[in-house]
Structure 1
Amino acid sequence: MYNDLKDKVALITGGASGIGKAIAERYAAEGMKVVINYRSRDEEAQALVEAIRKDGGEAIAVKADTTNEEEFLNLFKETIDTYGALHVMVNNAGMQNDIVSHEMKTEDFDKVMDVNLRGTFIGSREAIRHYMERKYKGVVINISSVHEIIPWPHYAQYCASKGGVKLMTQSLALEYARVQIRVNNIAPGSIDTPINAENFSTEEKKKEADGFVPMGYVAEPEEMANIAAFLASKESKYITGQTIVADGGLSLYPSHRNWEYDEIAADFTDEI
């Protein structure tokens, strides 16, 4: 338990499922007041709020599309109106699509960038703006991916967005370091969340996914929530601009090679 987190206010985008849900639950267990943002998971968000309240915690759910700036700003307003302040901003909302790069439409690229990078910027900006106005040493935690490091065929837009999150995190951290506003990044590897459900949908697929990780298993969202609690607390007060890569060793060997073109590679020539 991090005693300094008690009664602090946290806003978590994409907080109704997966890593966001696990962070919300952990923060509530730390005695924090939690604002759970969601876009389409109404039932899950309300169920999570009810579960937190049943355990004696404080939480609200606010529907907002983080790619819509007006809705995002209203999300911040509702947070401040309800709890009077914001202490920890977690930019967790994200998406990914499996699309062959030379067949990818520009709108497909833009959609992922809007959610993963633009939305993270708006969330970071508004949190920092609040901290600057209140002269408060606040915290921003961005949820990136191991693919800010490892290239991933069919996911060029996703990797670009997460690489952008990494450098944006570092830039913001440096810009506001003197006033002790800390901005950090968590880069998960293989995590058992709804966004990855198809990869673990059968026992065979799960076994293959586990075997791909050097430590031998796909992590649970709670393992990322542990890091988010640490980064929110004063135990990490000398850490800013950093990415904590939590991937079971996956980034130690980037073996995400694209095998699908092996059969046609011999047909390629130097002539057009």
Structure 2
Amino acid sequence: MDIKNKVALVTGGGTGIGRATSIALASRGAIVAVNYSRSKSEAEETVQWIRSEGGRAVAVQANVSLDREVRGMVATVVEQLGTVDLLVNNASITQHILLDDLEGATEEIWDELYGVNVKGMFFCARAVAPFMKSNKQGSIVNVGSIAGLTGAGSSLPYAVSKAAVHGLTKSLARALAPEISVSSVAPGAVATRWWEGREEQMNHLSPNLLLKRIAQPEDIAKMICAMLEQESMTGQILTVDSGQTL
């Protein structure tokens, strides 16, 4: 799909991979709705950067774990921009808990991570699907993680939630075909604010990767854009990890 002049909604679009994706989409001519939950200043800064470069963008608030807020967000985007053609389900959260600390994985943490990382992606896909179907085309990319492939990661609930994202991707690909394609990118380590306070750990990881580098948010954004443009792919999980999982 040619994404020029298409309306793209990027959840968690003000920081990290979401910010890089919002900017990359705008540079390709897309009109971008930058979603945020709490990072209002970062989302507005991303919008201003896009506008300063001659692009079109708006910031829109919603906690994606709440269906009513998601539906309200999509209604606002459609009211302001006309429709939704592209969705990047990027909003995710984690808790840093050792994998063997089973008691640390409390019911509240499970509910919080699943609410944002899994149910939130479903809510967003469900809310935009009628507009994409009406347009006879649409594309969705869910941001998963290699944690969902390996079982390792920042916490056990996080890894399991990302495995669920990959499963959700395949189910949505079946449910929304043929008008809408749905695939997932599974990044490895990416230099984002999730590493704050653990920069030394990140730097120790880099020499052990086949490509000897930690991915940047822009690397993942490029892949997301390519996946949104691809018209002959759906239900796929594409790994971008500098060889981390080999």
Contact 2:151 2:160 survives alignment (8 Å): no
Contact 1:16 1:38 survives alignment (8 Å): yes
Does residue 213 (structure 1) correspond to residue 209 (structure 2)? The answer is: yes
Identify the residue that residue 172 of structure 1 maps to in structure 2: 172
Structure 2: distance between partners of 1:43 and 1:124: 25
Matched residue SS, 2:12: coil
Query: Residue type of the partner of 1:121?
Result: F
Identify the residue that residue 199 of structure 1 maps to in structure 2: 198
Matched residue SS, 1:128: helix
Give the TM-score normalised by structure 1: 0.86
Query: Residue type of the partner of 1:249?
Result: G
Structure 2: distance between partners of 1:45 and 1:190: 23
Q: How does 1:78-97 map to 2 (within 5 A)?
A: 78-97=76-95
Task: Indicate the RMSD between aligned Cα atoms, in angstroms.
Answer: 1.5
Give the TM-score normalised by structure 2: 0.94
Query: Residue type of the partner of 1:21?
Result: R
CA change 1:118–1:45 in 2 (3 A) is: same
Residues paired across the two proteins, number: 243
Quote the sequence identity (%). 30
Identify the residue that residue 241 of structure 1 maps to in structure 2: 235
Matched residue SS, 1:16: coil
Structure 2: distance between partners of 1:154 and 1:62: 28
Unaligned 5+ segments in structure 2 are none
Larger radius of gyration: 1
Query: Residue type of the partner of 1:181?
Result: I
Unaligned 5+ segments in structure 1 are 253-272
Contact 1:101 1:154 survives alignment (8 Å): no
Structure 1: distance between partners of 2:34 and 2:125: 16
Structure 1: distance between partners of 2:90 and 2:154: 22
Matched residue SS, 1:78: helix
How far 1:154 sits from its partner (Å)?
6.2
Identify the residue that residue 245 of structure 2 maps to in structure 1: 251
Q: Which moved more, 1:154-163 or 1:18-27?
A: 154-163
Contact 2:12 2:91 survives alignment (8 Å): yes
Query: Residue type of the partner of 2:225?
Result: A
Query: Residue type of the partner of 1:144?
Result: G
Structure 1: distance between partners of 2:94 and 2:114: 10
Identify the residue that residue 45 of structure 1 maps to in structure 2: 43
Structure 2: distance between partners of 1:246 and 1:187: 6
- Deviation >4 Å, runs of 4+: none
